[in-house]
A and B are shown apart, each in its own frame.
Chain A
Amino acid sequence: MLNFADSKLEQIMQEEQEDILEQITNSDYKYGFVTDIEADEAPMGLTEDTVKFISAKKNEPSWMLEYRLKAFRHWQTMETPEWANLTFPAINYQDIIYYSAPKQKVAPNSLDEIDPELRKTFEKLGISLDEQKRISGIAVDAVIDSVSVATTFREELSKVGVIFCSMSDAIQEHPDLIKKHLGSVVPATDNYFTALNAAVFSDGSFCYIPKGVRCPMELSTYFRINAANTGQFERTLIVAEEGSYVSYLEGCTAPMRDENQLHAAVVEIVAMEKAEVKYSTVQNWYPGDKEGKGGIYNFVTKRGICAGNHSKISWTQVETGSSITWKYPSVILKGDYSIGEFYSVAVTNNYQQADTGTKMVHLGKNTRSRIVSKGISAGKSQNSYRGLVSVAKNASDARNFSQCDSLLLGDKCGAHTFPYIEVKNNTAMVEHEATTSKIGEDQIFYCNQRGIDTETAVALIINGFAKEVMNQLPMEFAVEAQKLLAISLEGSVG
């Protein structure tokens, strides 16, 4: 009788969990508003003229235009990659507006002159462009659609030699640094989306930390898509000279629209000898509605090179948004004793699809890498980890540890792990661990029995699951990110 009861219990519990899961997904996307502001836009579609239009808008030097045109011509010969575990209709690249800039009444010379509408927009997003309101000591570069509208604390940072500005300004003001480093980690020809980005990128952030400087505050960029039918193609470049340190954060949101919008960014990091760069992302692009309509297509290439010995690059990402995420923040471990890290939490709900992971390319001797990936799938979503650990012939005594855990909420979602390991040196030690688990009805009941309601219980359980990654985030971000995890899965159970 007990055995009968046990097996029945299991069956009923499963059915109940399904019922509960049916009730999912009533969570609202908080950042779905649109700012009504006049925009200066490129005509729809992509030709050489579009590329020239963007370059002209930015008064770019001819070498920059040449770079773009070369990339564009290469892009035309390429095809969309199809190896990822993602399904979506073909993107019509002629249906996209490649440049859209909010029209400001006056070109702002200082932060005080920024259009109040824009200021309000960012305030609504919790981003203050007011340096007086410096609470947590974070400098912000605020990018809306195709342009950077404000960068805070530029002066204060310049006192210690740190350059923090929009990519457009950097091209004008620091051409030598840009010429030297742009495309040095992610060449335009790297893949379909990097070629596209190189051709049409409009803005983004540039950070330069001189030798021996520990950046006195967190640097951050906040990306906002506002205009309809546009794509956002930003470009970020971080250069950390010998013995320097910087922690950089990025956040992103977009309005709710029925059409999909494309976001194809490139981020490059260069870390010289003994330099350390910590890069944290909280990605919260509009994920689409409960039926999977709308949402951002997020095709991003992020790569850092540990160029010098004893350098370190650490990627931390919390991915909760986008209808499609295609993203593999990677580290090339060129310097001896260099360290690469990748910490990721990817949450998918409803019809979201994520194919994300990393590449750790060990070239130098005694290099180390660590990968911690936590995938959380709910609704009818698909969540894949894809990672490559490669150890070159001369990379003796390389070490890698990878941990890939998946948590499933319900049985209509999928979790997949695609680890690739290529080792050409027999002194390498490469470890890979993977687990898959479900939030159990018994865990939730246990919490309920202690007076914790189901919503709080789910938040507790997923934050516990993601803790190792969340711990990597800077404090101010970690609290936000924890809330975001809970919101993304609101209604997922109970």
Chain B
Amino acid sequence: MLKIENLQARIEEKEILKGINLEIKPGEVHAIMGPNGSGKSTLASVLAGREAYEVTGGSVDFLGKDLLELSPEDRAKEGLFLAFQYPVEIPGVSTTNFIKTAVNEKRKYQGLDPLDAAQFLRTMKEKMKLVQIDQSLLSRSLNEGFSGGEKKRNEIFQMAMLEPKLAILDETDSGLDIDALRIVANGVNELRSANNAFLVVTHYQRLLDYIVPDFVHVLYNGRIVRSGTKELALELEEKGYDFIKAEVEKETV
């Protein structure tokens, strides 16, 4: 589904990604872990197409298309979804209206008719249950005055509505209490299927107790320095990131 080869990216003159290789197949959940500043969020942003980052090398194939050639909106319409670490507020635009616009833009791209009000409402009701989100929240301005937990649930709700092929969760666990974390994780687990894939970016192992990954990768200084199964996450949790740093430094000397 997604094949990243030797991906390098920078912001201004500062190299952040220094050669990422990663392949994700349908049905898989990959976790990217790493200390602050290792490039985790940059990777998520580059894949989603935030223009502030300049790709300086490598390639990304997404479902047979050159992802890096696509505009951010076309990436989204091809089935790539990013759950933001910091979801933005749009005053005066209700969440419902926003999602409806997004869903219908995607349908237009796929050559489908827009959903009418009844169809849309039906789908929405169905997906609301997944993340235990309240109707009243959806009629309020997008993310305006939402608590941290509500914002993250709203991200997962949007994901459910848009049914992406590949969803990237950028530190979705940050700022969540344990109940909210469980709700968000349950939502993700409900959406897991043999046809889609997830890339879960996180700093802590905690989230991976709920969303159990097939593969765990450790990002450090712009490179994936370790890959393994979920046991790797547990090892990290136990030993902290310093042991990875020490190992990497020993190797490079």
Residue positions of A touching B, CB distance < 8 A: 1-2, 4-5, 8-9, 11-13, 16, 440, 442-443, 445-454, 456, 460-461, 463-468
Contacts and interface: CB of A to CB of B under 8 A. Distances in A.
Interface in B36-89: 36-37, 42, 48-52, 71-73, 75-77, 81-82, 84, 87-89
B18 interface: no
B42 A5 contact: yes
A460 B93 contact: yes
**Most chain B CB neighbours (cut-off 10 Å) among A2, A4, A450, A468:** A450
A77 to B, nearest CB: 47
Contacts of A5: 11, 14, 16, 37, 42
Given A442-B88, A464-B141, A465-B91, 13 more contacts: A5-B16, A446-B90, A448-B73, A449-B81, A451-B76, A452-B73, A452-B101, A453-B71, A456-B101, A460-B98, A461-B93, A464-B92, A468-B92
Nearest to B221: A1
A449 B93 contact: no
Contacts, number: 100
A interface, over-half SS: helix
B96 interface: no
A468 B51 CA distance: 33
Nearest to B142: A464
B79 to A, nearest CB: 10
A460 B90 contact: yes
B162 interface: yes
B101 A448 contact: no
A170 to B, nearest CB: 41
Contact of A451 (B88, B97, B105): B105
Nearest to B40: A2
Given A1-B37, A5-B16, A443-B90, A450 B98 contact: yes
Contacts of A440: 88
B12 A12 contact: yes
Given A4-B14, A12-B12, A12-B52, A464 B76 contact: no
A460 B101 contact: yes
B102 interface: yes
Contact of B102 (A12, A451, A465): A451
Contacts of B49: 448-449
Contacts of B97: 460
B196 interface: no
Interface in B82-120: 82, 84, 87-93, 97-99, 101-102, 105-106, 109
Interface string B233-247: 000000000000000
